[in-house]
Amino acid sequence: MITLRSTELEVTISEIGAELQSIRDIQGHDWLWDGDERWWTGRAPLLFPTVGMMANGVARFGGREFAMPKHGFARKKPFAVIETLDHSATFRLEDSDDTRAVYPFTFRLDVTHRLDGAVLETVATVTNIGDAPMPAGFGFHPALRWPLPGTGGNSKTQHLLRFDAEEPEPIRGVTPDGLIGPPARTPIDGDELQLHDSLFEHDALVLDRPNSRGLWYGVPEHPGVRVDFAGLNYLGIWMKPGAGYLCIEPWASHADDEGFHGEFAEKPCVVTLAPGETHDFAMAMTFGVPF
């Protein structure tokens, strides 16, 4: 475990998946889900080189099919620790025989977690080390407590998401096969989504045309969480009904659409890196922010 500290937060990170394990404030409250195996063992996995499921469980590269695991493989791989400071740490994953068996590219993935007061920023930098174009997807998957600490005993149903802009566009659901389903009427009212477990009876809500690149999560007039995801085009919102977490997931790509059988590089918003090229994916969370 690596521990980072700022004036407002203490964060622990596992070398497996470079995954956040806790986010504690100066009162000792942990804002991150604890990975209770009765519900879901994840806490804040990083999704690379893909988000979600592939149709029939395979990704196509250059006309060949590869058995790609859901959410890729990075979340379960050990990362090397490249640098640690009091307020930041950088982790690295590089290709191996195991990764090339499902993703036939030579890559480097550097993940930096950085604290600044009440702000936790995560930047993932993907580099194409090989000599051919490399398509890549990426997603963040942090699970925040629901209800949040410091909300004065307010129930889960008093929590909401307040987006930076109105979100009238249809949302997408997730099929039983884990693929992206057809558009459906949004449950978002203007710029607000009132949260309740029944929203997630059929898996995640997916905003594939969000106007916002930021939102606030919590109970009005109580400390909440500000989430910023400039540069990421999709947003997933997910939990298992009855569990005590809410995943707010900015993505750069998403699971295969129902009926998609094309090349991985043809998926919406997959980034294709030229040899030697790098690309950053970033999000930030600010804790204890009232609205």
C-beta of residue 235 within 8 angstroms of C-beta of residue 207: yes
How far is the C-alpha of 240 from the C-alpha of 246, rounded, in Å?
A: 9
SS3 50: coil
pLDDT higher than 80, residue 61: yes
What is the C-alpha end-to-end distance of the chain, expressed in Å?
33
Tens of pLDDT, residue by residue over 167-198, are 999 999 999 999 999 999 999 999 999 999 99
Enumerate the domain spans of the chain. 2-290
Any idea what DSSP says for residue 242?
A: T
Higher pLDDT, 257 or 154: 257
What mean pLDDT do residues 254-269 have?
Answer: 94
Residue indicated by tokens 């990083």: 46
Is the omega angle on the peptide bond into residue 49 within 30 degrees of 0, that is, cis? yes
Nearest C-alpha neighbor of 141 from the set 55, 18, 278: 18
Q: What is the pTM (predicted TM-score) of this model?
A: 0.97
Nearest C-alpha neighbor of 283 from the set 123, 71, 87, 165: 123
C-beta of residue 229 within 8 angstroms of C-beta of residue 217: no
The pLDDT value given to residue 128: 98
C-beta of residue 101 within 8 angstroms of C-beta of residue 77: no
The pLDDT value given to residue 291: 80
Kindly give the pairing relationship between strand 278-290 and strand 180-184: unpaired
The pLDDT value given to residue 257: 95
Tens of pLDDT, residue by residue over 204-235, are 999 999 999 999 999 999 999 999 999 999 99
Cβ atoms within 10 Å of 15's Cβ, excluding its own? 15
272 token code pair? 């294709």
Percent of the chain with pLDDT over 90: 97
How far is the C-alpha of 96 from the C-alpha of 83, rounded, in Å?
A: 21
Contacts of 95 (CB under 8 A, 6+ apart): 103, 105, 106, 107, 108, 129
- What CATH number labels 2-290? 2.70.98.10
The secondary structure of 71-108, three-state, reads CECHHHCECEEEEECCCEEEEEEECCHHHHCCCCCCEE
Tens of pLDDT, residue by residue over 115-160, are 999 999 999 999 999 999 999 999 999 999 999 998 877 789 999 9
Per-residue buried b or exposed e for 161-183, using 16+ beta carbons within 10 Å of the residue's own CB: bbbeeebeeebbebbeebbbbee
pLDDT higher than 80, residue 20: yes
What mean pLDDT do residues 75-97 have?
Answer: 97
The pLDDT value given to residue 227: 98
